């Protein structure tokens, strides 16, 4: 088996588990703010190797929306790439499920910019998960308890 095939298998499994993790987290908690998940775009939703959306990400995002969870996409792309990014997601049928796309404010500190966006989301939402190539499904339970 090639490394690419292993990567694809692990990525697909990740997307299958996420709704189950969230259901477990929210079933026994009182939620006073809307639920939200922050997702990275590249290598999480968008497969840069094949220039397509991971199919399991579409299925999972739709399922999460059906559960009443708002999806925020956080990307390192600059603001002037917004129209291109929106078109990519529209073409793949995923844009309508996304609450907002948060573009990188500071190219010299991408990690800091993404962290700021996650904190911004947390002010209005119960941010229950951050999903990305560097933050693989980090469950933010402290915000639910």
Helix (H, G, I), strand (E, B) or coil at 102: strand
Give the global pTM.
0.76
Alpha helices in 3-144 (DSSP H): 3-27, 55-66, 82-91, 110-124
Which architecture does CATH list for 3-143? 3-Layer(aba) Sandwich (3.40)
Domain ranges of the chain: 3-143
Average pLDDT over residues 58-81: 89
Q: For 95-123, how does the pLDDT look when each residue is reduced to its tens digit (9 = 90+)?
A: 999 999 999 877 777 777 888 888 899 89
* Long-range contacts, stretch 92-96, CB < 8 angstroms, 24+ apart: 92/52, 92/53, 92/58, 93/58, 94/45, 94/53, 94/57, 94/58, 94/61
73 closest CA partner among 60, 92, 89, 87: 89
- Decide if 72 contacts 39 (C-beta within 8 A): yes
Q: Can you give the pLDDT at residue 144?
A: 40
Report residue 145's pLDDT band, with 50, 70 and 90 as the boundaries: very low
Residue 46: how many other CB atoms lie within 10 Å? 21
Q: For 29-67, how does the pLDDT look when each residue is reduced to its tens digit (9 = 90+)?
A: 667 788 898 988 887 787 777 777 777 788 888 888 998
């Amino acid at each position: 088996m090639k490394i690419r095939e292993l990567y694809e298998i692990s990525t697909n499994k990740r997307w299958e588990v996420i709704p189950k993790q969230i259901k477990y987290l929210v079933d026994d908690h009182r939620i006073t703010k809307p639920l939200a998940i922050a997702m990275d775009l590249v290598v999480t939703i968008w497969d840069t190797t094949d220039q397509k959306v991971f199919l399991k990400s579409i299925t999972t995002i739709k399922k999460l929306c059906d559960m009443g969870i708002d999806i925020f996409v956080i990307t390192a792309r600059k603001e002037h790439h917004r129209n291109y990014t929106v078109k990519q997601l529209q073409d793949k049928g995923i844009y309508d499920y996304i609450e907002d796309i948060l573009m990188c404010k500071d190219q010299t500190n991408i990690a800091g910019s993404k962290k700021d966006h996650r904190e911004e989301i947390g002010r209005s939402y119960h941010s229950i998960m951050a999903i990305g190539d560097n933050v693989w499904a980090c469950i933010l339970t402290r915000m639910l308890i």
